[in-house]
Structure 1
């Protein structure tokens, strides 16, 4: 089997895939089309499955040291009533780790630091990905052409490579929700590590960070492309009567820090995650709504599974077939579950439906809630063979 790879995309999934391939002895180049690494995206939660993948990649300890465990919090109503309580200690006992919150910029930095020097090229948009021979794939960017034994398409939800591989696939679909988010300018007075509040067609949540700052997000059910002249002022208007610390988090935020993105997903499942010697990973393969907090975790699972398959199989084709057989059912199942969670969460707007949902949540035993969480979090990564072992 050959041992050179080009990873298209320098996000979480692409960087993790490159680390995994490097750890099994492959030579890897990562092409990131952004000219500067702004690391936007505010914050992120990582569950046990994502952290275990990071452990196998050798960066789990560094990530844990930079993150804050989510032990307290839960789900509330706009007036502050409790719908469900988070028991981070029980979750830690069940799976060995709590969910953690970390700024996305910090996670990106830690992943980049685990790459070999010179592996990442920024401002490099892959303009062509094509077969160069029976065992070679050619990738062009700018005036440069690279040949490799494998191309990993980690180029996000709008993946151009996926579009070339599956021209009849409808591509991303608007979920019906748009999200605004930011990190507070300074430490926030928070009593919980993580919290969601569900209104009618609306959600507000926060993640507390190790340094005392917090990431908040506001999800609104609006037509695609809706934008506000002054997003922060609009959010203050919409959430002015919601319980604390929601108004305080908005007041602790600079207007220029607010990011606004529509939430899109791959609602139509792909028929395969691999074609020839090109493999899809992360959002390029299974972009999902954020309702389960599993998008990044599934990309990390992809990365470790891909590296393990390549380390175990005698040919690239056999490894990619194994990767597809393992990852496609799970990735698509988690995407379906995330979509369903959204329909039972902030997407509900009819007063009767909201009241019934709230009553059901209050009556759900903690054990049943834990079993639902473990269905996604309790994942054990395959072991990566080390180069030279």
Structure 2
């Protein structure tokens, strides 16, 4: 068996959280390696809403000014009920924008040093070497990597989350089609989020800029019908059109004229908030961040922003321990105890935030898409009134300086 390559900090997953964590460490002068299973950068999901809390994290990473120019701000969200009644919510006066996922991922990747991201590296197993407490990763090609710190940012099907003992994600009763539509002469839509519901399906639309809109269709999951979901873009678009036949002409045309290359269809999943509260989230010097830790439904649009927060806090905690211990050293020294202390500090700071936001998202999803009994619906409303009285408070969160 070939000898393992030895590295200090390894991040599994080259999505938003993984790249942001690597960038946060780089900004503090700490090198890391990102292992991405795909052969190129991936930006599945077309677009992502970034709320003020996410922009604060991007500011710490030095990317806010670059990305602000790629999308227009919006401060209003409008929900239209099946009966045609519109309910409008005024958001924070601070920036809320919908970014193309590709723009965000590319900005993160371009800010990293060359060779930070290794493409085509799929992790198939993880173990801890007893003698050193280092994580040993086996890749699909049989090669081995030994890491002093291992951070799993590998999403919903996280190999790292599974290794440290997190329970598997759960399925919601909904699947989602997401895409982009370009209007060469301008779409003319107001800068606001729109959600329209009919029967058990609903459509959302958010302008990215004057000519591009992001949209999604949330569809009831029908076990017998949807067991084999289409994968090719044309079939995905046709599915969305079939299920939204009764919606307004502008929505149907938006789906018809969508960019096929942007379309995706996924079954929505989440991690139960009570599992996040009770489970250990570190095993030796291994932990998780982003969706690998707190996968949540899209009902608050906070998944990306919270992943950026994770990245800033994780990079801060690691850099604080490393920098304090290496003030008089010419080469970086990272001990097992330093790594454990840093990861514990990160988890302690993030757990309450993550559990509360996952709970808020979970309850919002129940009220939005699930057929609840009158008693359960009343219970959710009471919890909202007692615990989450200010529905926008989570968007004002500040993850602090890097």
Using the size of structure 1 for normalisation, the TM-score is: 0.84
Q: Is 1:47 aligned with 2:51?
A: yes
Aligned equivalents of 1:254 and 1:63: distance in 2?
22
For the 8 Å contact 1:154–1:284, the answer to whether it is kept is yes
Partner-residue secondary structure (3-state), 2:391 = helix
Are 2:192 and 2:207, in contact at CA under 8 Å, matched by a contact in 1?
Answer: yes
How far did residue 244 of structure 1 move? Answer: 5.4
Partner of 1:17: 21
Distance verdict in 2 for CA 1:257–1:381, change over 3 Å: closer
1:266 aligned residue: 271
Structure-1 residue corresponding to 2:333: none
Show the counterpart of 2:330.
Answer: none
Listed as ranges, the matches of 1:64-143 within 5 Å are 64-78=68-82, 80-83=84-87, 85-88=88-91, 91-92=92-93, 97-132=94-129, 133-134=131-132, 136-141=134-139, 142-143=141-142
Partner Cα separation in structure 2 for residue 130 and residue 329 of structure 1: 28
In structure 1, the partner of 2:346 is 323
Aligned partners of 1:212, 1:64: CA distance in 2, in Å?
A: 16
What is the DSSP-based 3-state SS (H/G/I as helix, E as strand, rest coil) of the residue aligned with 1:253? coil
Pick which of 329-338 and 253-262 moved more.
253-262
Partners of 2:207 and 2:183 in 1: CA distance = 12
Match of 2:252 in 1: 247
Shift of 1:383: 1.8
Q: Distance in 1 between matches of 2:260 and 2:98?
A: 23
State the SS of the aligned residue for 1:164.
Answer: helix
Corresponding position of 1:178: 175
Give the aligned length: 363
> For 1:49 and 1:202, how far apart are their aligned partners in 2?
29
1:292 counterpart SS class: coil
TM-superposed CA distance for 1:148, in Å, is 2.8
1:264-321 CA distance string (max 9 Å, x none): 1112624122211111101111111111111111111111111111123362111111
Alpha-carbon spacing, 1:3–1:233, altered in 2? closer, same or farther (3 Å) = closer
1:102-139 deviation line (CA, Å, top 9, x unaligned) = 11111110110111111001110123333344353333
For structure 2, the 5+ residue unaligned runs are 1-5, 326-337, 382-387
Tell me which moved more, 191-200 or 112-121.
Answer: 191-200
| Contact map agreement 2:160 2:287 (CA 8 A) in 1 | no
- Return the alpha-carbon distance in structure 2 between the equivalents of residues 114 and 126 of structure 1: 25
Question: 2: CA distance between counterparts of 1:65 and 1:290?
Answer: 24
Q: TM-score with structure 2 length normalisation?
A: 0.82
State the 1:68 CA deviation.
1.9
Q: Distance in 2 between matches of 1:118 and 1:87?
A: 44
Contact 1:198–1:346 at 8 Å: present in 2 too? no
Within a 5 Å distance, the mapping from 1:165-244 to structure 2 comes to 165-166=164-165, 169-187=166-184, 188-223=187-222, 225-226=226-227, 227=229, 230-243=235-248
1:291 is aligned to 299
Structure 2 SS opposite 1:305: helix
Any idea what the Cα deviations from partners look like across 1:328-378, whole Å, max 9, x if unmatched? 22212211111110111233589x99xx99xx9xxxxxxxx993112x111
Contact 2:15–2:42 (CA under 8 A) maintained in structure 1? no
1:311 is aligned to 2:329 = no
Aligned match of 1:335 in 350, 353, 358?
A: 358
| C-alpha deviation, 1:382, in angstroms | 2.4
1:164/1:38 Cα in 2 relative to 1: closer, same or farther (>3 Å)?
A: closer
In 1, Cα distance between equivalents of 2:103 and 2:320: 32
- Report the Cα offset of residue 79 of structure 1: 6.1
CA contact (8 A) 2:38 2:120 kept: yes
